[in-house]
Structure 1
Amino acid sequence: MSKRRNRHGRGQRGPVVLPRAHGGRIERIDPTKAEFFMTCLAEAVDQVQGSCPGILDDAVIGAEDVPTMPDWTQGRVPLSSAVDRQDDSPARVVMYRRPLELRATSRRGLAILVHRTLVEQLSALTGLPVEKIDPSIDE
């Protein structure tokens, strides 16, 4: 019998791949959740900028992991927040990564949710209809 036998159906007991002869780490192929979220946000910003040029000229788009607001309305966790333009600061849209990730069922769903949330927040800030900011939102 082999030392690495399959005991009680729990699978193989030893390493599946032998260590590399010259050491070093194997690079990841897939991005982390945070990296993928930032990629989705950058693509959403690019798509909005392409469909409605100039809408982001006096707005700052940012991302945080979780909301830090102490008083959420009706016990719901916000997906994003928008702050109107002040005298000395531009309008701000903050997207919250973890609440958006928890509501998406797949990475494709997360990309769609990030895009729609950004368009809705920009619509609330500018007063423009969602269809004017991004005509492909209904597709």
Structure 2
Amino acid sequence: MTVTRTRRDRRGRGIRGLKYPPFHPSYRTRKELFDEAVVTYVARLEMTWGRELRGTEFAVEEVPPSDPSPWERGGITLGRYFPAVSGQASRIVIYRRPVEARAEGREELAAIIRDVIVDNIAFMLSKAPHEIDGDYQS
């Protein structure tokens, strides 16, 4: 009598492991997709505004700190601009969770990311958001 081993576990639920292989597009997490959308848009802006954005850092954080900045009024902020101080580069931070909570799909998520970045760059450069990107939608 020979016992044949199958690739199933003893309760017949199938193979345990990854649902998708690491090279498959579905393998990426929401965080990775969000980071990729930010990097893609910033790279697009740097083609036009590269000289003005030189030295500016872009970052993604999960949620904003619980204490709002003095100039922020009510509501949850989607992003912040931190000016250069004592040798540190200026920084624009986008908060992933509040942005994702407002988006209903990937296209809307990309539009919100674009608007948050454009708002902060416009504030940093003292320009109107429509000068930075004509697709801006307040």
- Output the TM-score relative to the length of structure 1: 0.75
Q: What is the letter of the counterpart of residue 67 of structure 2?
A: P
- 2:33 maps to which residue? 36
Residue 62 (structure 2) pairs with residue 65 (structure 1): yes
Q: Is residue 78–residue 99 contact of structure 1 (8 Å, CA) maintained in 2?
A: yes
- 1:56 maps to which residue? 53
- 1:100 maps to which residue? 99
Q: Is residue 44–residue 115 contact of structure 1 (8 Å, CA) maintained in 2?
A: yes
- 1:122 maps to which residue? 121
Cα deviation for residue 52 of structure 1 reads: 2.1
- Output the TM-score relative to the length of structure 2: 0.75
Identical aligned pairs, as a percentage?
22
Structure 2: segments with no counterpart, 5+ residues: 1-11
Structure 1: segments with no counterpart, 5+ residues: 1-13
Q: Give the Cα separation in 2 of the matches to 1:24 and 1:85.
A: 46
- Please identify runs of 4+ aligned residues in structure 1 that moved more than 4 A: none
Distance 1:48 1:24, change over 3 A: same
- Whose RCO is larger (CA < 8 A, sep 6+)? 1
Distance 1:24 1:74, change over 3 A: closer
- 2:79 maps to which residue? 80
Q: Give the Cα separation in 2 of the matches to 1:117 and 1:62.
A: 12
Q: What is the letter of the counterpart of residue 81 of structure 1?
A: R
Cα deviation for residue 24 of structure 1 reads: 5.2
Cα deviation for residue 61 of structure 1 reads: 0.7
Give aligned pairs, total: 120
Q: Give the Cα separation in 2 of the matches to 1:43 and 1:53.
A: 14
User: Alignment RMSD, CA only?
Assistant: 2.2
Distance 1:58 1:106, change over 3 A: same
Q: Give the Cα separation in 2 of the matches to 1:58 and 1:33.
A: 28
